[in-house]
Chain A
Amino acid sequence: MTPLAPRLDRPETPPSDLLIKRAHLIDPRVGIDEPADLLVRGGEVAEVGAPGSLEAPERAEVVDAEGLHAFPAFVDPHVHLRTPGREDEEDIGSGTRAAAAGGFCAILAMPNTDPVTDSASVLLSLRERAREEARVPTGFLAAVTVGQKGEQLTEMGELIDAGALGFSDDGLPVQSAGVLRQALRYQRMTGGCIALHEEDPTLSRGGSMHEGEVSALLGVGGIPSISESTMIARDAAIARYEDAQIHIQHLSARESVQAIEQAKAAGVRITCEATPHHLTLTEESVRSLDTNFKMNPPLRSEDDRQALLDGLRSGIIDCVATDHAPHAREEKEQPFETAPMGVTGLETAFAALHTMLVIPGLIPLGVLIERMTAGGAPFGLAIPSLSPGSPANICLADLAAEWEAGEAGYESRSSNSCFAGRRLIGRVRMTVAGGSVAYRERSFAIGAVS
């Protein structure tokens, strides 16, 4: 597997020397779950030792992390940076600052931009901007089809050579089975995971929310679960036939989890993700017709949510991804049916999942950490780790801190959060990304340089 850093872009940053003292370390893959000192030297995890046992080398920052938790930092394989085209909603700088504030050490940006990231020239210019502005290492996916029109394949080979970490037409499905098949076959030559937004437009047509009791009551067009699950089944079959590798984005329905389970059992190289909002909210939130609950795929029933939780626990759902989708305020201040779909998520992901799933005992904290750090794996990126020798990718969090989402504003340019106004428990204090400190919470005091 390729290490995280070389394939992602961010400005040249001096690697950190850092001693994190007495944090409660949790890294399930390494088998650590206890208070410890963690030493970062030259941007790498150098040593983990008993609390209070490690000495800070010269010029290292010392962090008194008593009462805090330290995990491997998170990776989000599904972020909309809105660049190029809608820098009013988000740009690489603001989006990656939001990521860092949420404890993420790396993100992958979606190509449904304006212009679409479907050529090496657009991709290379984005990578260059990331090398100037990105607060955390940022990777870019390229489109599967030109203009995301679903008709003609992009120059997948050239795009991989130019540094694309994979492909997606996200925002839209690859509607034609024939075109998808060609892409999956071509992938044999080029490599690059193909991430799929699963939706059958002939089933979802006219819909803005889950097809169920709430849509029946509100008279708003519904998007049935089968719009997603039938496409997953179809695409898994094509991937199996072509021995291709696919990643299914933003799962929302029980039937979809079942389709993934069957595909995995049949040996298909398929992975999938679920968002914090699908894991914690349902169509009940949509009764209010608040557009901060309008997303695609929509929030579905409680039964669907339970299926997603089961899938996350068991690992059928491989990772959490936010599908961070910033929107301009005036666009969201419209009637539900006409407002654009999507909510932000980077800054609230961990806190929302910690508050609504871990604290009530629905998911162990260790499992959540595993799922929030696994997002880069389908794209060939190493999973962040606290074991010595790993690049330093660390999230330091206060699991007891209570805060109100949005009260202090957001790093993101946009404020369309489905958790706005909610009291959350668990706050990121500091994020180390790719070997250097990417985020410190404003009020978080760090010990003097020794």
Chain B
Amino acid sequence: MMRNLLSIDDLTREDIERILSRAHSFAQVSGREIKKVPTLRGRTVINLFYESSTRTSSSFELAAKRLSADLVNIKSVGSSVDKGESLKDTVQTLSAYDPTAIVIRSPHAGAANLVARWTTASVINAGDGKHEHPTQALLDLYTLRGRRPQIEGTKIWIVGDVMHSRVARSNVLAFTRMGAEVTVCGPPTLIPRDFESLGCDVRYSLDGIEEADVVYALRMQMERMTGSYVPSLREYAARFQIDSRRLAPHQLLMHPGPVNRGVELAAEVIDSPQALIVQQVESGVVVRMAVLYELLAAGNAPSPVPAHTEPQPA
């Protein structure tokens, strides 16, 4: 049984399949009026977020609570981290609460690995710098499979600021592990040298995007103007914005959110039926429930979710 989820690289294809199918059974729980199962009752999960985040932290919070765990939210702002407490000291202090799991988001690569060194709790990487965001990749796979069951051989283009995107890195690894063909596309200044070594193709223009089955757009941040990555958002949008001209009717559109309307995506495609953006958010909770289950409960319970249960008191 896995103890931590630090990187997509930690997961085999079988592991991914198992987590996705467990997420599917949790989706049935989420359809009920009382959306809870008692799996993690009495266990404590700590959300340790050093970067602001609404969707990921609330998604993990809901996931933990639907599994009946007790959840503690720690955001760096307003905590002793502001007073200069080191990551190590924070983790060791939190260990006193005997958490079963620590979900960590940090602006620094490798933070989750460090936390795993300093605690016996299971550690889930909720985003470490520009390195990885494994649960995002899992929910993206889950969402995509909901519309396109056969991932093997699917052509996926990831478009945008690949260099600064942990979502891109985790997704390249996850999609290729499941047999998809991945192309990353963006301005050369936003795609690192040697990026092909992750197992994908690299393109510097949208020429050829019509061959893609799935277009996955990344957020283009205002901050990229400094550092001479792109001369202007206008030039970026002119070359790389996904709009109804560039997105063919048969293509699916994904985005990790939040979207910069009018920058990486034109309004008309965001709201089109080809877009899976809302479903991505929705699937976040069940996928994270499945991850928590995988790390904390899979070795114990014989089966994930009973097919028919009376609603349990909370």
Partners in one complex: yes
A362 beta carbon closer than 8 Å to chain B: no
**Interface check B106, CB cutoff 8 A:** yes
A360 at the interface (CB under 8 A from B): no
| A3 interfacial by beta-carbon distance below 8 Å | no
Task: Determine if A220 and B86 form an interchain contact, defined as CB atoms under 8 angstroms apart.
Answer: no
B91 shortest CB reach to chain A, Å: 11
Q: B86: which A residues are within 8 A, CB to CB?
A: 330, 333-334
Closest chain A CB from B106 CB (angstroms): 7
State whether A218 touches B194 (Cβ < 8 A): no
User: Does B131 lie within 8 Å of A216, measured CB to CB?
Assistant: no
A217 lies within 8 A of B198 (CB): yes
Q: Which residues on the A side are within 8 Å of B110 (C-beta)?
A: 218, 289, 335-337
Whether, in the assembled complex, A213 has its beta carbon less than 8 Å from a beta carbon of chain B, the answer is yes
**Does B257 interact with chain A (Cβ within 8 Å)?**
no
> Among A211, A215, A219, A334, which residue has its beta carbon within 8 angstroms of that of B132?
A219
Is there an interface contact between B197 and A338, defined as CB atoms closer than 8 Å?
no
Chain A: minimal CB distance from B225 (Å) = 15
Contact B109 A218 (CB under 8 A): yes
Which residues of chain A come closer than 8 Å to B132, judged between CB atoms? 219
Question: Provided the pairs A330-B86, A334-B86 are in contact, do residues A212 and B129 lie with their beta carbons within 8 angstroms?
Answer: no
Q: Does chain A have a CB within 8 A of B130?
A: yes
A332-358 at interface with B (beta carbon < 8 Å): 333-338
Bound together, the chains give a CA A332 to CA B36 distance in angstroms of: 43
Docked complex: A289-303 residues within 8 A CB-CB of B: 289
Give, as a whole number of angstroms, the nearest-CB distance from B71 to chain A.
Answer: 24
* Pick from B128, B164, B165, B197: contact of A213, CB under 8 Å: B197
Q: Which of B87, B130, B163, B197 contacts A335 (CB 8 A)?
A: B87
B130 in contact with A220 (CB, 8 Å): yes
With A334-B87, A335-B106 in contact, is A219–B131 under 8 Å at CB?
Answer: yes
Interface core residue of A211, A218, A220, A335 (most chain B CB under 10 Å): A335
B141 CB, min distance to chain A CBs, angstroms = 20
A222 CB within 8 Å of chain B: yes
Within 8 A of B (CB), among A203-219: 205-206, 211-213, 215-219
Given known A218-B109, A219-B109, A220-B109, contact A337–B129 (CB-CB < 8 A): yes
Q: What size tier do the contact residues of chain B reach?
A: 20 to 34
Contact pick for A211, options B109, B113, B129, B193, CB 8 Å: B193
B169 within 8 A of A: yes
Q: Tell yes or no: B111 within 8 A of A by CB.
A: yes
Q: Is the CB of A336 within 8 A of B192?
A: no
In contact, B194 and A289 (Cβ under 8 angstroms): no
Question: Is B88 located at the chain interface by the 8 A CB criterion?
Answer: yes
| Residues of B contacting A335 in the complex (Cβ-Cβ under 8 angstroms) | 87, 106, 108-111, 114, 128-129
CB contacts (< 8 Å) of A330 on chain B: these are: 86, 88
Cross-chain contact of B108 among A215, A222, A333, A338 (Cβ < 8 A): A338
Distance between Cα atoms of A330 and B129 in the complex (Å): 21
Contact across chains for B193 and A216 when beta carbons are under 8 A apart: yes
Interface of A is mostly: loop
**Contact A219-B198, Cβ < 8 Å, known A333-B86, A337-B108, A338-B108:** no
**What bracket does the count of chain A residues touching chain B fall in?**
20 to 34
- With a cutoff of 8 Å between Cβ atoms, the chain A residues found around residue B227 in the complex are 205-206
Query: Are the CB atoms of A289 and B87 closer together than 8 Å?
Result: no
- B194 near A212 with CB under 8 A, answer yes
Known: A217-B169, A219-B131. A336 touches B88 (CB 8 A): no
CA distance A289 to B169 in the complex (A): 16
Q: Please tell me if the beta carbons of B197 and A219 are within 8 angstroms of each other in the complex.
A: no
Q: Does B288 contact A (CB under 8 A)?
A: no
- Least CB separation from A331: chain B residue: B86
Which residues of the other chain, A, contact B169 by a CB distance below 8 angstroms?
A: 217, 219
Residues 126-138 of B, flagged 1 when their CB comes within 8 A of A and 0 if not, give 0011111000000
Please, which residues of chain B bring their CB within 8 A of the CB of A213? 194, 197
Chain A minimum-CB-distance residue to B192: A216
Nearest-Cβ distance from residue A253 to partner chain B, whole angstroms: 14
Q: Please name all residues of chain B whose beta carbon is closer than 8 Å to the beta carbon of A289 when the two chains form the complex.
A: 109-110, 113
Closest residue on chain A to residue B165 by CB atoms: A219
Q: Does the CB pair A222–B106 fall under 8 Å? A: no
Residues from chain B with Cβ under 8 Å of A215 in the complex: 192
Chain B residues numbered 69-95 whose CB sits less than 8 Å from any CB in chain A: 86-88
Name A185-219 residues within 8 Å CB distance of B.
205-206, 211-213, 215-219
Q: Are B193 and A337 in contact (CB under 8 A)?
A: no
Chain A residues lying within 8 Å of B109, measured Cβ to Cβ, are: 218-220, 289, 335-337
- Which residues from chain A contact B165 at a C-beta distance below 8 Å? 219
Give the one of A222, A333, A337 with max B CB within 10 A: A337
> How distant is the Cα of A366 from the Cα of B108 in the complex, in angstroms?
44
Q: Is the CB of B87 within 8 A of A219?
A: no
Q: Hey, which chain A residues are within 8 Å of B128, CB to CB? A: 335
A27 to B213 CA separation, bound complex (whole angstroms): 69
Asked if B166 is at the interface of the complex by the 8 Å CB criterion, the answer is yes
Q: In the bound complex, what is the Cα–Cα distance between A129 and B6 (angstroms)?
A: 49
Q: Do B197 and A217 touch across chains, with their CB atoms under 8 A apart?
A: yes
In the complex, A336→B114 CA distance in Å?
9
Most buried by A among B109, B114, B131, B163: B109
Q: Which residues 157-213 of B have a CB within 8 angstroms of A? A: 163-166, 169, 192-195, 197-198
Cα(A337)–Cα(B110), bound, Å: 9
Residues of A within 8 A of B (CB): 205-206, 211-213, 215-220, 222, 289, 330, 333-338
Closest 5 CB pairs of A and B: A219-B130, A335-B108, A289-B110, A216-B192, A219-B131
Q: A217-B198, A220-B129 are in contact. List 9 more A-B contacts (CB 8 A).
A: A217-B169, A217-B197, A218-B131, A219-B129, A220-B130, A222-B193, A289-B109, A333-B114, A334-B114
- 6 pairs, CB–CB < 8 Å, chain A vs chain B: A205-B227, A216-B198, A219-B131, A335-B106, A335-B108, A337-B108
